[in-house]
Copies of this chain bind each other. A is one copy, B any other.
């Protein structure tokens, strides 16, 4: 019989609610008392911790965002803030905390662990830049929203001597750009992990036209050196040289919204169960993850501060299929 609290932290990702629901229901099945923390770590500090039951998490599986809210907390970045959070958790009789969030959130989680509070992490970020899992919650849905936009651009791009550029999210990680670019059949994909020059982009578009392609789509990760702003500026300056105009779409937060797809709901459900099982066997300070198709746990210390590398198989595939 345990008391377990769950919170969501950092940028929201489709599937966070499915993870909350799974943690709560799997915990209740074990006979535990479950608690929800409002507004992430900030909620720990102001003692916003309340019991949460089976029906409270009904009807949220299919919803984007997070019913628990998420907020940034300056205070939590200090040790004083962290200790205050732990005091509040202990006063409520909480035995363990589950943190659903990305890199920054798991770093905060790790701080609590180092201060001796039992924690588990569930990776959730559309950027897929967190180590210890092949896929984080939200990635698949965000990738499909980006892909839908690319598909639509392709339809309209087929008539004009024009290049279309679409900037997608991912911070310093090119995962969404690379994968949606492959899935969308982009002519060029610009990611932070691989340095390119704007001339290479331009030459590639020119080649596409020479090969009789009816459209030219460039997918750009927001974190790339040559992101949308930089490439638009380049093509404006060199319009005469290359002879085509760039029309841009900036998807922005549209990628975070929307209903999670089947993959994210199932992944979140598995991760929620995985976190509860880890707590049941009192395995703390770990991140639940998906590795080789199975739900695993990895010590937080092994993943904090690490950078996920981009798959060379996928980079190769992008080149092959262009």
Interface residue ranges, A against B (CB under 8 Å): 12, 21-22, 25-26, 29, 39, 54-55, 58-59, 61-66, 69-71, 134, 140, 143-145, 147, 149, 151-160, 164, 166, 179-180, 182-185, 211-214, 247-259, 261-263, 265-266, 269-270, 273, 291-293, 295, 313, 317, 320-321
Contact = CB atoms under 8 A, between A and B. Distances in A.
A256 to B, nearest CB: 4
Given A249-B254, A252-B248, A160 B71 contact: yes
Q: Which of A66, A153, A254, A256 lies at the interface centre, i.e. has the most chain B CB atoms within 10 A of its CB?
A: A254
Contacts of A164: 252-253
B179 A266 contact: yes
Given A29-B320, A273-B317, A293-B293, A159 B249 contact: no
Contact of A64 (B59, B70, B155, B257): B155
Nearest to A162: B253
Contacts of A295: 313
Given A270-B317, A273-B317, A292-B292, A65 B256 contact: no
Given A65-B155, A71-B159, A134 B293 contact: yes
Contacts of A263: 140, 263
B256 A156 contact: yes
B320 A154 contact: no
Contacts of A184: 61-62
Nearest to A64: B155
A17 to B, nearest CB: 10
A273 B313 CA distance: 10
7 contacts: A140-B263, A143-B262, A152-B257, A153-B253, A182-B266, A249-B252, A249-B253
B25 A321 contact: yes
Contacts of A144: 261-262
Contacts of A54: 211
A320 B61 CA distance: 14
Contacts of A248: 250, 252
A249 B251 contact: yes
